[in-house]
Structure 1
């Protein structure tokens, strides 16, 4: 695994857009219209920018998988972050979904611990290369990185089939939330 450079952004946004095209949680906040795919791309662009500024962005050594990690305690409100939020609303969420999206984000923040965490916002493998162990290798490396940073990993997933995969790597479901889908909150301690 390597830290991504800013010029890797297009590749990372492409991997995540393809990986999360049918994801329930992503499609919950993305305006559902003829521009849905470009709206998912806008969400991944936003997420890259936020993690590049207030976390870490990683690529697998073969450039077929990536991960966006956020350190919520390091996230600051700046002019740039406000502009990114406005751009997200206009290009992804849509005015009609603002309340639903804000309610979801507020709920997630209330459930997440207030300690310094390693928030695995997105991990994705290019769909043409899935089920080859690339994501598992990346997740192992992320676990090691979280230990080096002395931060437990937290994440959410709406993909039921991913639960056994995360559990195999020592993650536990610590909360579930019911939206128009079930959202699972997982964590992995440092030990």
Structure 2
């Protein structure tokens, strides 16, 4: 696993956009129109920028798996962050969905404990390389990284089959939200 540089950005965006194309939680955020996949890629671009600035972007050695990790306590208000947020609203969410998404984000934030954490925002494997252990290898390295930082890991998933996969590593569900789809909040103490 290597920490990503900006030259990995295109590859990371491609992996995540393809891996999350049918994810209920992601599709709740992305405006559903003829530009949906482009909007999905823009969402991943936003997350890449935020995690580069306030966390970590990690890529597997073979370049087929990646993860975006946020360290929420490091995130602070800045003009750059405000511009990124505005671009997200215009290019991904759509102004007409803004209040729905703000309500969702508020509910998610209320469900997170107020503490230092290692927030696994996205982890994905290129669809052609899935089911080969790359996600497992990457998650094991993320867990080791979180342990070295002495931070518990938090994440959400809206995909049922992912729950048992995360549970194999010691994650447990600590909260659920029904947003028209189920969002499961998971954590692992390191």
- 1:68 matched to which residue of 2? 68
**Residue 51 (structure 1) aligned with residue 51 (structure 2):** yes
- 1:41 matched to which residue of 2? 41
Between the two proteins, the alignment pairs up a number of residues equal to: 190
**Residue 13 (structure 1) aligned with residue 13 (structure 2):** yes
In the TM superposition, 1:153-164 aligns within 5 A as 153-164=153-164
1:182, distance to aligned residue in structure 2 (A): 0.2
Q: Counterpart of 2:131 in 1: which secondary structure?
A: coil
1:96, distance to aligned residue in structure 2 (A): 1.1
CA distance in 2, matches of 1:100, 1:124: 26
* TM-score, structure 1 as length reference: 0.99
Detail structure 1 runs of 4+ shifted over 2 Å in the superposition: none
1:151, distance to aligned residue in structure 2 (A): 0.6
CA distance in 1, matches of 2:82, 2:150: 29
- 2:148 matched to which residue of 1? 148
- 1:126 matched to which residue of 2? 126
CA distance in 2, matches of 1:145, 1:108: 24
Q: Counterpart of 2:120 in 1: which secondary structure?
A: strand
Q: Counterpart of 2:14 in 1: which secondary structure?
A: helix
CA distance in 2, matches of 1:56, 1:162: 22
- 1:89 matched to which residue of 2? 89
1:57, distance to aligned residue in structure 2 (A): 0.4
CA distance in 1, matches of 2:76, 2:10: 24
Q: Counterpart of 1:186 in 2: which secondary structure?
A: strand
List per-residue Cα deviations over 1:62-92 (Å, max 9, x = no partner): 1000000000010011010000000000100
- 1:28 matched to which residue of 2? 28
In the TM superposition, 1:93-132 aligns within 5 A as 93-132=93-132
Structure 1: 5+ residue runs without aligned partners?
Answer: none
* TM-score, structure 2 as length reference: 0.99
CA distance in 2, matches of 1:54, 1:181: 29
Q: Indicate the RMSD between aligned Cα atoms, in angstroms.
A: 0.5
CA distance in 1, matches of 2:133, 2:7: 26
1:7, distance to aligned residue in structure 2 (A): 1.5
